[in-house]
Amino acid sequence: MKQALEKIRQAAVQELEAIQDLKLLDTVRVKYLGKKGELTAILKQMGSLTAEERPVIGALANEIRCDIEDKIARHTQELREQALQKKLLEEKLDVTMPGKQQPVGKKHPLTKVLEEIEEISLGMGFDIAEGPEVEYDYYNFEALNLPPDHPARDSQDTFYVTDTILLRSQTSPVQIRVMETQKPPIRIIAPGRVFRSDAADATHSPLFHQIEGLVVDKGITMANLKSTLETFIKKIYGDDSVVRFRPHHFPFTEPSAELDVMCFNCHGEGCRLCKGEGWIEILGCGMVHPKVLANCGIDPEVYSGFAFGIGLERIVMKRYGIDDIRLFFENDDKFLSQF
């Protein structure tokens, strides 16, 4: 048995000296020291030894085990050091070489124009308000004076999560939430993402951005609305911008209007951009409906207000001459790098 143990020691040492791969070291360890290894197989035969032979063979077996484990540990360390040196030589870095120019991302055109609009609004005394994108139908419709049978509430136009919860189709719910929790005077804009069940094409997207504006105070009139929006448009499109108001209807404003800006391409003569009309529709607006004020706990006999809503994509498309709204959401580097 002594001879068998010595043979195991010699064989293990020879194999270890020949190995130059860290992965193979564990194979050798299992072969000689594992539960089914050669050393374990020898020790299982100790039951046949006399009482005097067992301590001697046991001590020798432990010595050989420790010897093999020590050699495996030292050889592992040597191979790791060799691998590290090889890696350092292969990955040697010449610090005198010029660095490679890395591409730097830029702000998305929607973000650039939105920040500009927010800056203009803050300069005009507006605060910026936010609200949830997953909204109750009460805030999205009912509180805004849209009856249950209104076409806008149909599931073909709105993404419903449940019968009473939906993806907001406008940022107007933010106005309701602000009026419920804040007493007049109120002057806010509410930018954010909105969702409508539209098929994606060059001018429509199921996801787009809207900016709502709201002012509520004593003595607010249509003249205040017109003056504010004229100033707002001139700051966005330039001092030579010409606007007009057309009568319209929205359930949450009375009276209501749509604002057009004279086509900055043809200056009112008619062209492809404005479809020959000379004017481009920009936003909807109006005086806040008394029912909407009352729904929010604001006395319409004391306070009045105006509201407007504008599509961010529409402004950006006209600003940069973009003819397809889908380009904003396709993450095309060639498109985005222009801005």
Asked whether residue 20 is domain-assigned, the answer is yes
pLDDT on residue 298: 95
**Does 327 lie in the same domain as 250?**
yes
Please give the chain's pLDDT, 339 residues, in tens.
667 777 777 777 777 777 777 777 777 777 767 777 676 777 666 667 677 777 777 777 778 778 777 888 888 888 888 888 888 888 777 778 888 888 777 889 999 999 999 999 999 999 999 999 999 999 999 999 988 877 777 767 889 999 899 999 999 999 999 999 999 999 999 999 999 988 888 778 899 999 999 999 999 999 999 999 999 988 888 888 888 999 999 999 999 999 988 876 777 788 776 778 888 888 999 999 999 999 999 999 999 999 999 999 988 887 888 888 899 998 888 888 888
**Does 129 lie in the same domain as 158?**
yes
pLDDT on residue 175: 95
Q: Which amino acid is at 183?
A: K
pLDDT on residue 293: 96
**Does 114 lie in the same domain as 77?**
no
Asked whether residue 104 is domain-assigned, the answer is no
pLDDT on residue 220: 96
Q: Return phi, psi of residue 104, to 5°.
A: -110, 130
Q: Which of 311, 312, 287 is nearest to 300 (CA)?
A: 287
Number of domains in the chain: 2
**Does 179 lie in the same domain as 81?**
no
Asked whether residue 173 is domain-assigned, the answer is yes
pLDDT on residue 258: 94
pLDDT on residue 154: 75
- DSSP 3-state percent helix, strand, coil across the chain (nearest 5): 45, 20, 35
**Does 85 lie in the same domain as 202?**
no
Asked whether residue 202 is domain-assigned, the answer is yes
Asked whether residue 278 is domain-assigned, the answer is yes
**Does 282 lie in the same domain as 173?**
yes
**Does 322 lie in the same domain as 256?**
yes
**Does 181 lie in the same domain as 265?**
yes
CATH number at residue 267: 3.30.930.10
pLDDT on residue 155: 67
Asked whether residue 212 is domain-assigned, the answer is yes
**Does 80 lie in the same domain as 17?**
yes
Residue 217, token pair as written in the block: 């105070």
**Does 116 lie in the same domain as 29?**
no
**Does 158 lie in the same domain as 77?**
no
**Does 273 lie in the same domain as 302?**
yes
DSSP 161-192: SSSSEEE-SSSHHHHHHHHHHSPSPEEEEEEE
Asked whether residue 97 is domain-assigned, the answer is no
pLDDT on residue 17: 76
Residue 154, token pair as written in the block: 């149909």
Rounded to whole angstroms, the Cα distance separating 50 from 101 reads 78
Spell out the residues 6+ positions from residue 304 whose beta carbon is closer than 8 angstroms to its own: 216, 217, 218, 219, 220, 221, 287, 288, 293
Residues of the domain holding 46 = 2-90
Q: Of 90, 122, 148, which residue constitutes the final position of a domain?
A: 90
Q: Of 90, 120, 153, which residue constitutes the final position of a domain?
A: 90
Asked whether residue 96 is domain-assigned, the answer is no
